[in-house]
Structure 1
Amino acid sequence: MSSLRLSVDKDSRAIALALVLLLAAIVIPPVDLPHDTYDYLLVFDISQSMNVEDFELDGAPVSRLAFAHESARRMLREMPCGSRVGWAAFTGYRTIPLLAPVEVCAYYNDLLASLDQIDARMRWSNASEITKGVYWSVLAAQETTLPAGAHPDIVFISDGQEAPLLDPAYPPRVLDDLKKHSIRGWLIGAGSDAPSPIPRIDEEGHRQGFWRADEVIQPTAFGDDNAPAIEHLSGLREPHLRALADQVGFNYARLTGPESLSEILRDQRYARRRPTPTDLFWLPASIAVLLLALRFRPDSLVPLSRRR
C-alpha cells in the first residue's frame, strides 16, 4: 500500500510540475538577447527596362521587377527578428523613399502589403540615370536615422541600363560626392545577359508595344559611328554595375534565383549585433512535454527490471 501511495505521489508531482511549466510557457515574457540583425533600405528600379520578362517563376516568364518583388518577399521571411527593412523606388534620376525601415516581425504584413504597391504605375519619368539614382539613395539613407543614430544600408536592385546613355567623356559629377559617403550598400543586378526588347508601358501599367531603335539615344550620338544601335534592347549591364559599385564603395551581387537575395543580404559583414526580444516559451514547454511523456509512456517501454 505504501509503495502504491509513493508511486501516486510521484506521478502527481510530475503532472503538477508539468502544469506549472506549461503555465510558465504561456506567461513568460520575451527576454532581450544579443542577435545578429540587419537594417536595409531596398531601392527598386521601376524604369521601363525592368519590365523585360527574362526571369521565370514556377515555369512562367516574369519581369525583372516582379522577380525582384518575389525575391524581397522571400527575403523578409528569412530576416531575423529585430532586423529593419524599408522600401524606396527609383526612376528618372531620383530615388524616393516610400517606407522607412521597420522591424520585420512586428510589421511583416505591412511590409508585404506596401511591397505589392511598388510597380510601373509609380513611374514619374522614362529616363533611368542609375548613377544619379544611387547618389539619391545614399542621401535617403543618410537622412533616415534609426534608433541609436544608425543609418540603414542600401540595396539598389537594377538592370544597370542608363537611359539616356552615359557619355563616357563626361561622367556624372555626383560620382565625386559618392566617393565621400559613409553609407554601406549593395548593387544587385537583375536580368539576363541576352538583350531583349524593352516593353513600352503607359501610365496605367499597360503594355503598348516595344521601344524602337529610333526612339532612344544610341552610341552614335556620341560620335561612335561604328557602335551597334542596341540601346532599345536591354540585358543586365553587369560590368557597369560592378564598376559603379567599386567607385562608390558598395558590394555587387546578382539575382540568380528567388532565394538569392535572402542569402546575399544575410552577409555577416552587414550584421548588426544588438539585444532583441526573444521568446523562450519553448524551454518550459519542452520540459513539460518531456515530463508528461515519461509519466504516460506505455508499460511496454518500462525496463523489465523495474516491472518486477
Structure 2
Amino acid sequence: MHKKWLPFCLKHRDTLLLGIALMLLLGAALRPSIPIKRNIHTYLLIADITQSMNVIDMSLDHAPASRLDYTKRMMHDIIAQLPCQTRISIGLFAGDAVAALYTPLHVCKHFSAIQQTIDHLDWRMAWTGNSQLRQSVPMAAKLLRQMPEATKAVIFTDGDEAPLLHAFNTRNLKDFQGSDDFYFVGVGTDQGAGIPKLTENNQMIGYWSNESFAVQPNIAQVTASKSSGRDDSVAVSDYDRYISRRASAYLKKLSEEIGAQYLDGDDPHHVLQHIQKHSSPRYEIVAYPIDWILATLSAVCIVSAYINQDSKRQLTHTLRKRFTKLRQTRLFKARHDVAHDNHF
C-alpha cells in the first residue's frame, strides 16, 4: 500500500504540507492544552523590621540604602521570578514573635497586592524595640503549623540580637522540630554601621549608643528585655555608637543548630535557586497550553511547502555566486597582497 501512497505524496507534496499547516493552525486557534503535574511551593517571606534593619550599609542602584529597603527590593525580585502556582504570604519579625499579614496567596492572581504589601513594610510597624531572633524561632514554627498548607519560612534578617545573648537569655533549641522549613537570609555587611535612632516621623535624631546594648548578666536584665519601653539616650560621638554588623557566623550556627539553611543575601538569584531547590510535598494538575507548538509546526510546514528542489538549487547557486564576488573584492585582494609581501 505504501508503494502507491509514496509516489502520490511526493507528487502532491506542497498541497499536503499546506493542508497539514491549515489543520495545525485551526487546532492552535482552539487553544488546546494538556494536563501536567507541577509542584506547588508555598512561602512565608518574613522581614525583620527591628531598628537595626535601618542601618545604611547596603547599596541599591549605586546609592546607599538601608537593610530594610534592600530586603524589600530582594523580596520584590524573588516574587517576580516565581511560577504562577506559587503561594506567598508576607510576615513580620520583631521582639520574640513573628506575625503573618495574611494566608498564602497565588503569586500571579494577587501579584499587585503582594508587591504593595512589601512596599509598605516599615520599621514603625514593630510592636517592640527588641530583636530576639533565637526566641522567635519556635514561634515561627508554630505559625507555620497553623498555615492551611505546607509552608516554608524565609527570614530576611541581619541576625543582630538585642539585648545581646548571654547565659540567662539564650534559649535551648535542642528539641526544636520543623527545621526543614526554615531559611535564614543574612542582610547587611561585615563592616556594619551605627543604628540610626529615628522619631515616629522617621526623622533621624542620632544613633544608638553602646550603653543601650550593654550586657548585664542578671535576672533583672532578662526581665527588662521583655519590655517594649524606649531608651531616649542618644549617642553623641562616633566612638560611642553601637556598630551593627551582619551576624553571619551567628546565623550559620543557629541554622546548623536547628537544621535550617543559611543563605547570603548579597545575591537574590542565589536565594531564589536554593529555596526552590527542594521538591514540594504538594502538587496540582495544571493545564499546559500547546497552541504555540501547533503554530510553530504549521509555520514549518508552510516554509517546507515553498522550498522545493529547484528552490534549493537556486539558493545554493545564488550563495555561491555572492561568495565568489565577495572573494574578488578589494578587501580579500588586499589581504592576499599583504600576506604575499610579508612572505620570505
The answer to whether TM tops 0.5 is yes
* One-letter code aligned to 1:247: E
Cα distance in 2 between the residues matched to 1:35 and 1:230: 55
Cα distance in 2 between the residues matched to 1:113 and 1:19: 46
Cα distance in 1 between the residues matched to 2:292 and 2:281: 26
1:217 paired with 2:226, answer no
- Seen in structure 2, the aligned counterparts of structure 1 residues 198 and 296 have a Cα distance that, compared at 3 Å, is farther
1:127–1:164 Cα contact (<8 Å) kept: yes
What SS is found at the alignment partner of 2:304? Answer: helix
1:291: which partner in 2?
A: 301
How big is the shift at 1:16? Answer: 4.9
Cα distance in 2 between the residues matched to 1:233 and 1:134: 25
How big is the shift at 1:49? Answer: 0.7
How big is the shift at 1:197? Answer: 0.3
1:262 paired with 2:258, answer no
1:74–1:262 Cα contact (<8 Å) kept: no
Q: Deviations over 1:211-231 (max 9, x none)?
A: 2223x1313x238xxxxx988
How big is the shift at 1:96? Answer: 0.6
Cα distance in 2 between the residues matched to 1:144 and 1:264: 22
What SS is found at the alignment partner of 2:109? Answer: coil
Cα distance in 2 between the residues matched to 1:264 and 1:122: 29
1:145: which partner in 2?
A: 148
What SS is found at the alignment partner of 1:222? Answer: coil
1:274 paired with 2:283, answer yes
* One-letter code aligned to 1:38: H
* One-letter code aligned to 2:205: Q
Cα distance in 2 between the residues matched to 1:102 and 1:254: 26
Cα distance in 1 between the residues matched to 2:200 and 2:73: 23
Where in structure 2 are the equivalents of 1:26-45 lying within 5 Å? 26-45=29-48
1:141–1:183 Cα contact (<8 Å) kept: no
- Seen in structure 2, the aligned counterparts of structure 1 residues 145 and 92 have a Cα distance that, compared at 3 Å, is same
2:135: which partner in 1?
A: 132
* One-letter code aligned to 1:202: T
Q: Deviations over 1:199-241 (max 9, x none)?
A: 1233344433322223x1313x238xxxxx9882210111221
- Seen in structure 2, the aligned counterparts of structure 1 residues 265 and 300 have a Cα distance that, compared at 3 Å, is farther
Where in structure 2 are the equivalents of 1:190-269 lying within 5 Å? 190-214=187-211, 216-219=212-215, 221-222=216-217, 232-267=242-277, 269=278
What SS is found at the alignment partner of 1:33? Answer: strand
- Seen in structure 2, the aligned counterparts of structure 1 residues 103 and 208 have a Cα distance that, compared at 3 Å, is same
Cα distance in 1 between the residues matched to 2:169 and 2:312: 84
1:226: which partner in 2?
A: none
2:209–2:240 Cα contact (<8 Å) kept: no
Cα distance in 1 between the residues matched to 2:146 and 2:178: 12
2:195–2:208 Cα contact (<8 Å) kept: yes
Q: Deviations over 1:160-219 (max 9, x none)?
A: 01111122344226x356x134652111111101131011233344433322223x1313
Cα distance in 1 between the residues matched to 2:64 and 2:264: 18
Cα distance in 1 between the residues matched to 2:245 and 2:93: 18
1:108 paired with 2:111, answer yes
2:39–2:279 Cα contact (<8 Å) kept: no
1:18–1:287 Cα contact (<8 Å) kept: yes
How big is the shift at 1:144? Answer: 0.1
- Seen in structure 2, the aligned counterparts of structure 1 residues 271 and 205 have a Cα distance that, compared at 3 Å, is farther
Q: Deviations over 1:59-83 (max 9, x none)?
A: 1111112222222222223323322
What SS is found at the alignment partner of 2:142? Answer: helix
* One-letter code aligned to 1:130: L
* One-letter code aligned to 1:274: Y
How big is the shift at 1:110? Answer: 2.8
- Seen in structure 2, the aligned counterparts of structure 1 residues 53 and 295 have a Cα distance that, compared at 3 Å, is farther
Cα distance in 2 between the residues matched to 1:218 and 1:300: 89
1:49–1:198 Cα contact (<8 Å) kept: yes
Aligned length: 287
- Seen in structure 2, the aligned counterparts of structure 1 residues 139 and 230 have a Cα distance that, compared at 3 Å, is farther
* One-letter code aligned to 1:76: I
2:40–2:282 Cα contact (<8 Å) kept: yes
How big is the shift at 1:303? Answer: 3.3
Higher mean displacement: 116-125 or 290-299: 290-299
- Seen in structure 2, the aligned counterparts of structure 1 residues 195 and 283 have a Cα distance that, compared at 3 Å, is same
How big is the shift at 1:137? Answer: 1.5
How big is the shift at 1:298? Answer: 10
Q: Deviations over 1:73-106 (max 9, x none)?
A: 2222332332222210111221110132223333
1:186 paired with 2:186, answer no
2:337: which partner in 1?
A: none
- Seen in structure 2, the aligned counterparts of structure 1 residues 171 and 25 have a Cα distance that, compared at 3 Å, is same
1:163: which partner in 2?
A: 162
- Seen in structure 2, the aligned counterparts of structure 1 residues 258 and 55 have a Cα distance that, compared at 3 Å, is farther
When normalised by structure 2's length, the TM-score is 0.73
Where in structure 2 are the equivalents of 1:11-26 lying within 5 Å? 14-26=17-29
